[in-house]
Amino acid sequence: MRSGMTCRLVALCFDAHDPLSLARFWAGVLGWEMADDPQDGIALLPSDDTGFRLRFLPTQEQKVGQNQMHFDLTSTSLEDQQQTVARSLGLGARHIDVGQRPEEGHVVLADPEGNEFCVIEPDNKFLADCGFIGALASDGSQEVGYFWSEALGWPLVWDQNQETAIRSPHGGPKITWGGPPLMPKTGKYRLHFDLAPPADGDQQAEVDRLISLGATRIDIGQGEVSWVVMADPDGHEFCVYPGSPASAGRW
């Protein structure tokens, strides 16, 4: 199924109370440029080999509990790590405690809307050849790591002790899953993936393929829209759009 028949990861979407402000924060942290979004959100376009954009979409829902996904940002030196932390704090981030131990070298922060992210210490071997966004670290099962590897056609680059990681053949961040036990799900996740069929592909065929891999169609009250809302085997929501990334709308 990996020979030119996999869907594309078009965007990582953040639900936000103030999409413009949150986009400005992440543009400042990452050095990415803001762009118009096809609907009523805000997009950031990658300035490196990250193969997907970020989208910030309006929501009234309150954040409950820890996010299922967060960024691990890399550092080239201790000074570089400190500069990333200082830049983030200056843009509106804050230090948070998620149970990290004092001897651990990474710094845990939250963006202005409480979305967690880590600034990783230098010399982290697992992220050594990755860019500034080293990984999108996810809470999830081994099964869901296998699902996303097949769904995106990204090979497994880690598979030990029920922990998995995948990475695009073109480079960019790794996506990792920490294995069980999983955090309890508290409503719709604030971060989700937007997918699109391959250039010559068909939305319905892609939906059928994803169902065959273990995904399900779900109804979150989206109404009559051009995209299909689905959930992966762990129940994490994602969207499949009918073609061009420019057609991507909001939930």
**Position 241 pLDDT exceeds 60:** yes
pTM of the model: 0.93
Of 95-99, 143-147, 243-247, where does the model show the most confidence?
143-147
Helix (H, G, I), strand (E, B) or coil at 196: strand
Q: Say which DSSP state 4 is in.
A: S
Average pLDDT, the chain: 92
Show the CA angle centred on residue 54, arms to residues 133 and 214, nearest 5°.
90
**Position 243 pLDDT exceeds 50:** yes
Instruction: List the alpha helices (DSSP H) in the chain.
Output: 19-30, 78-91, 142-152, 203-213
pLDDT for position 249: 41
**Position 41 pLDDT exceeds 70:** yes
Q: What percent of the chain has pLDDT over 70?
A: 95
Q: Is 152 exposed, middle or buried (0-12, 13-18, 19+ CB in 10 A)?
A: buried
- The position carrying tokens 């071997």 is 125
